[in-house]
Structure formats: structure tokens, C-alpha cells
Amino acid sequence: MRLYQNRDVNCMGRYRAELDKNACQGFGACVELCPDFFQLTDVDGKSSIEGAKKVVKANQTVSETLEIDKLECIREAAEACPFNAIHIVNLETGEKLI
Ligand code: SF4
């Protein structure tokens, strides 16, 4: 049984998913678990969030953020990331979930 079951995976609210591109090592656990949101890019070989805003410094994307109403598989992907590169913030409470 997976640890994340029965948690607020499908709770409605406002959340921000954040991907730290510097921490990402591109092994793809997030892509495997949550392919509707994450994909590996040819540009840097790292993960990218579909439809996310990109923060670019010195011509490199350093992070991506996406605001969502429902966590769906993003929480599962964040919990599985071995490099702690995916974070989730509840925008209604300010709580950092991961
Ligand atoms: S699981 Fe983490 S380290 Fe692996 S590709 Fe996804 S964000 Fe990058």
C-alpha cells in the first residue's frame, strides 16, 4: 500500500506546485507517476511541468510554478522525487505540504 493513499490528493483548493530545476536530476519518477503534468525536456534533460510559469535566470530556467485547484497525481510525484525538487504550497493556508 502506498503511503499517500487516503490523503488530500483530490481535495479542492488552491495550490502551487513548484519545480526546482537545479535540484532535478532528470531520472523521471515524476513523469512515470504523473505524466499529465510532468515531462522530461530535450532542452536540459530535466523535468518540466506542463503549462507552468518559468523563472529564467542567465538564460536558464531555474524553476517552474503552476497553480492548480486539485493536487491529483502531483502530490504523489512530489513525494516520490528522490531529490526533493517538487514542492507544493496550499495557497489558502500558506502551508507548505512538501
Ligand atoms: S522525480 Fe524529481 S529529480 Fe526525478 S525528474 Fe522528477 S523532479 Fe526531477
Q: Give domain status of residue 95, yes or no.
A: no
More confident site: 57 or 6: 57
Domain count, the chain: 1
User: How far is residue 11's CA from residue 2's CA, in Å, rounded to a whole number?
Assistant: 18
Quote the DSSP letter at residue 96: B
Q: Is residue 23 part of a domain?
A: yes
Please indicate whether residue 72 or residue 78 has the higher confidence score (pLDDT): 78
- The reply to whether 78 falls in a domain is yes
Q: 3-state DSSP: the chain helix, strand, coil percent, rounded to 5?
A: 15, 40, 45
Q: What is the CATH number of the domain that holds 54?
A: 3.30.70.20
Element (DSSP H or E) covering residue 67 = strand 60-70
Q: Separation of 94 CA from ligand 1 center, angstroms?
A: 24
Ligand 1 neighbourhood includes 83 CB (under 6 angstroms): yes
* 2 part of a folded domain: no
Output the pLDDT for position 12.
76
Residue closest by Cα to atom 2 of ligand 1: 81
Whether residue 5 lies inside any domain: the answer is no
Q: Which three cell numbers stand for residue 51?
A: 503549462
Going by CA atoms, what residue is nearest to atom 8 of ligand 1? 24
pLDDT classification of 3: cutoffs 50, 70, 90 = very low
4 lines ligand 1 (CB under 6 A): no
Residues of the domain holding 61: 12-90
Q: Is residue 27 part of a domain?
A: yes
Å from CA of 33 to ligand 1 middle: 11
In whole angstroms, what is the distance from residue 22 CA to residue 24 CA? 6
Flag whether 61 is in a domain: yes
Burial of 95 (0-12, 13-18, 19+ CB in 10 A): exposed
In this structure, is residue 24 part of a structural domain?
Answer: yes
